[in-house]
Amino acid sequence: MYEDKTLVCKECGKEFTFTAGEQEFYAERGFVNEPQRCKECRDARKNKIKTQKEMYTTTCAACGCEAKVPFKPREDRPVYCSECFAKMKNEE
């Protein structure tokens, strides 16, 4: 049903293949737009966003260990390290 398509990356201008499998994946997820960037440019964009997040250091309210979080902790709300947060989530 689907056939490979050759698209042009809007970031770098290189041609890339939008495979039949990728098209099927997009359709299953309900995506209507084709990708506009090649895999390399998409990955570079994701990594740029990840590295721009400022991390804050705080103390876990449950175990007292140091925790790094991607948001500025507030004094009126407890903050948990990833291990304690996962334990609490599993208990629900």
Work out the average pLDDT over 15-19.
97
The answer, yes or no, to whether residue 46 has pLDDT greater than 90, is: no
CA atoms within 13 A on the CB side of 22: 13
- Given pLDDT bands bounded at 50, 70 and 90, which one contains residue 51? low
Per-residue DSSP letters for the chain?
----EEEE-TTT--EEEE-HHHHHHHHHHT--SPP-S-HHHHHHHHHHHHHHPPPEEEE-TTT--EEEESS---TTS----HHHHHHHHHH-
Decide: pTM greater than 0.75.
no
